[in-house]
A and B are shown apart, each in its own frame.
Chain A
């Protein structure tokens, strides 16, 4: 399940698919990040800053699900952004399979995300104009795969998440749980090493949330999964839970 081969990669991160079980997928080493007081990027030296992360070091091996918890503003989302290569920390290293992605260019980090990272958003962020299958196939557009191959892979992934019969439906025609499963299938489209999820059950009812968590658990068997949540049930599926407070690692259990 979930292991559908995707054609070659030109990612700056070395492709070591055969070593998944034995290697560290993600390593944050002494990561510190400061935002401007306005909440945006740091712009000038005299602008008042907010320190979102302070010397955070985290390691996520392959086949492991790590949960992030902490109050609002504790730095959970910033850690997820750093892991996903969506931000470059002010200091420290963010290694993905041994490569410091913080040192890469914006275009290179985009390629890293495309090939090695799947993102599950709290609000799904599916394109409402496209069918479920087209949404799942979107990340494959950049790879230059023919349409038939993209459709086949998307169909298989939707089948894997239990939506084989809903592939032609648009997001607006799906329930919240179904949309999140489409989003998970999309995150898996390029067969990434790492899945990043922020409050994946935040918009779902309990029963639907449980089904989504089972899915995440399933896909996390041969990947690294980093999930941030306030929800205890969500954190229960994690092998390890890291508590953040004021941008620091407060506890690991």
Chain B
């Protein structure tokens, strides 16, 4: 067969395919819509899967400190009911004093009641830190910084700075803004005895913990929680100096503090991944389900398209058209439908993801839970185009095989 003959046949095949599609515009539109929905289900489910995986990994990304000291692998999403490190300020100061340590700071986590008055108190996770930083990306107001001297001394019995950073949703829920005063306490009763000024609005730790969170100076949080005496913290993190070996420093700290787990960043990340296996597996499963579901849906659809034309294909086979030609006719329809459906599905994806993200943020508290990466778009389009065309060709080929007596009344 010459190239010219191939071109002639290809053109004829495409012509027949286009004519078949144009013959029933309603049915064609429905088929395109079905492919678009298949693509949409893939992109949305895959976006959710990618988002879940990223959420699971985000804590790891932000765990960018060299050394982690705790009693167990730290789960940042655990909302701080465990604060196993005693004498956190002293230990932090001692660790910072080492030549191979650049800085060290404790972090505590407690659940506290916050609200402008007794009837509007809400229980929220609180994180106690020595300072806020650029990563907070304040929507309003500013952060706070405990001065070096205070940071090096044991925590006070009563809150001293009385400043608090609220998650935007907490601020909205309490109907307060920067400059307002709210109560903070470990119980409803004690909350009324402590007043804090809202200095900033940021969801930094909310993203980290997965629920709306407030941030206060470490000493103040310990005072509110009643752990000033024991100076409890969830963990201490430290950065080594540029010329220090992280593993060596961790090993030395391990010997120095045998009662705690001392981990390098890599070890901590591994531990966190182990604890988040279910989350990561769920995300991966969603992506897998999206792909398998999309393939099955698309395959069924094009098998149906071929089946609808089975009698016509049988007649064409009977008058002498070859199976490759018939497969090409159905395959061309698959290509066209896949192309159109894929584009429609991709075009609809951002809007649907936006809507679902809004829903997830308002109901679950997770901002941007669905993440549509370029790979997700590419996967959705490839599904429509490649799988659609391949399945259509196979369906056409099979339909050609069944061009038999039972489909013709001759």
Contacts and interface: CB of A to CB of B under 8 A. Distances in A.
A56 B404 CA distance: 21
A113 B320 contact: yes
A138 B408 contact: no
Contact of A139 (B9, B312, B319, B404): B319
B148 to A, nearest CB: 82
A87 interface: yes
Interface in B354-403: none
Given A121-B410, A128-B23, A145 B319 contact: no
Given A86-B405, A128-B23, A145-B8, A121 B315 contact: yes
B311 A125 contact: yes
A100 B408 CA distance: 23
Contacts of B273: none
B5 interface: yes
Contact of A186 (B20, B22, B319, B406): B319
Contacts of A26: none
A111 B320 contact: yes
B321 A139 contact: yes
Contacts of A117: 320
A110 B9 contact: no
Contacts of A129: 16, 19-20, 22-23
Interface in B267-323: 311-312, 315-323
B325 interface: yes
A212 to B, nearest CB: 16
B402 to A, nearest CB: 10
A138 B8 CA distance: 12
Contacts of A198: 409-410
Nearest to B320: A114
Interface residues of A, number: 40
A142 B16 contact: no
Contact of A141 (B1, B12, B410): B12
Contacts of A84: 318, 410
A80 interface: yes
Contacts of A49: none
Given A84-B318, A190-B320, A121 B16 contact: no
Interface string B2-44: 1011001101110110011011000000000000000000000
Contacts of B408: 86, 121, 125
B326 to A, nearest CB: 10
A81 B23 contact: no
Contacts of B20: 127, 129
Interface in A25-63: 39-41
Contacts of A127: 16, 19-20, 312, 316
**Interface centre among B23, B311, B316, B410, by most A CB within 10 Å?**
B410
Interface in A49-92: 77, 80-81, 84, 86-87
A110 B322 contact: yes
A113 B322 contact: no
A142 B9 contact: yes
Contacts of A122: 409-410
A129 B20 CA distance: 5
Interface string B148-183: 000000000000000000000000000000000000
A40 B311 CA distance: 16
A182 interface: no
Nearest to A186: B319
Contacts of B325: 141-142
B8 A125 contact: no
A187 B311 CA distance: 17
A142 B402 CA distance: 19
Given A125-B312, A128-B23, A81 B410 contact: yes
A142 B5 CA distance: 9
Contacts of B316: 127, 138
A134 interface: yes
A146 interface: yes
Given A107-B322, A111-B320, A119-B410, 20 more contacts: A39-B406, A41-B404, A84-B410, A86-B404, A86-B408, A107-B323, A110-B323, A113-B319, A114-B320, A121-B408, A121-B410, A122-B410, A127-B16, A127-B312, A128-B23, A129-B16, A129-B22, A142-B321, A146-B8, A147-B12
Q: Nearest 7 A-B pairs (CB), nearest first? A: A114-B320, A129-B23, A144-B5, A125-B315, A129-B19, A198-B410, A141-B12
Interface of B: 1-2, 4-5, 8-9, 11-13, 15-16, 19-20, 22-23, 311-312, 315-323, 325, 404-406, 408-410
26 contacts: A40-B406, A81-B410, A84-B410, A86-B405, A107-B323, A113-B320, A114-B319, A114-B320, A114-B321, A119-B319, A121-B318, A121-B408, A122-B410, A123-B409, A125-B315, A125-B408, A129-B23, A134-B15, A134-B19, A139-B319, A141-B8, A141-B325, A142-B9, A144-B2, A147-B8, A147-B12
